Amino acid sequence: MVTEVNTGTGVIVVAAGRGTRMGSKESKQYLMLQDKPIVIHTLEVFDRHPLITEIILVTGAQDVERCLSWIHEFGMTKKIKVIAGGAERQHSVYQGLLHMNSPWVLVHDGVRPFVTQQQVTSCYEAAVQHGAAVLAVPVKDTVKQVDGQGWVTATPDRRSLWAIQTPQAFRRSELIQAHEVAEEEGFIGTDDSMLIERLGVQVMVVEGGYANIKITTPEDLDYAEFIRMKKELKGEGIK
């Protein structure tokens, strides 16, 4: 239950990476899924969401104009600001934060087009109630910790392990502080939650869904097409 009055909720959609694992000349976020670039499917989720008042798309400097063109072509109803990102994902998120005014911010991967409206809402509400929140799913497989020589050193209890997704939701002021501290210390994290955790802020995990995949490899793209077809058969479309 939301316990704090919201005066604006923004989302930073990060799509500045070039990516090499896809094995294509085109960046993964601009590959077509059905009849639209993947990043457009992602933007549409937040364009339709009633809680979202501000959308910032962070992309490569060379891609700003074509993203603006697609936003117009596919009829987004909210004003979406498109800006150039930095060398690392972390730097791109920070640029987005500097262009945002909302007190609460969600950070989302541009290549996660299957996040649902309810998952976005649940993550946001948990952040407002607890201070910070991330979407995640329980790990299905047994996970081994392995040393540099390939020897197993530990087998963590699977019940305590979650695979982290996006969106991740925070107070914008705290996330800016977390990024600035990381920059001062030369620290590069793998997600924004890691930076927040370094400030001593507790992060609540909100259960997401296994369909909220990050499309990074050709196999992911095949699976994305399967998810899309399954949603169509159920009459859901990509929402």
Phi then psi dihedrals of residue 201, to 5 deg:
-85, 130
Q: How confident is the model at residue 1 (pLDDT cuts 50, 70, 90)?
A: very low
Containing 23, the helix (H) or strand (E) segment is: none
Q: Is the pLDDT of residue 21 over 60?
A: no
Nearest to residue 31, comparing CAs of 230, 239, 236, 217? 217
Share of the chain above pLDDT 70, in %: 92
Confidence of residue 217 (pLDDT cuts 50, 70, 90): confident
Please tell me the least confidently modeled range out of 24-38, 47-61, 107-121, 190-204.
Answer: 24-38
- What does pTM read for this prediction? 0.92
Mean pLDDT of 4-29: 75
In which band, very low, low, confident or very high, does the pLDDT at 16 lie, cut at 50, 70 and 90? confident
Residue 238: pLDDT above 60? Answer: no
Residues 113 and 170: their CA atoms lie apart, in Å, by 21
Which domains does the chain possess? 9-233 (3.90.550.10)
Asked if residue 152 has pLDDT above 50, the reply is yes
pLDDT at 219 > cutoff 50: yes
pLDDT at 7: 67
Alpha-carbon dihedral sign for residues 118, 54, 11, 124: negative
Which of 134, 136, 184, 185 lies closest to 161, judged by CA? 136
Q: In the Cβ-directed half-sphere of 104, how many Cα atoms lie within 13 Å? A: 26
Contact 39, 110 (CB under 8 A): yes
- Whether omega for the bond prior to residue 156 falls within 30 degrees of 0, making it cis, is no
Grade residue 215 by pLDDT with cuts at 50, 70 and 90. Answer: very high
Res. 24: pLDDT tops 70: no
Quick one: pLDDT at residue 231?
80
pLDDT at 65 over 50: yes
With a cut of 70, say whether residue 98 has pLDDT above it: yes
Mean pLDDT of the chain: 92
Mean pLDDT of the 183-207 span? 97
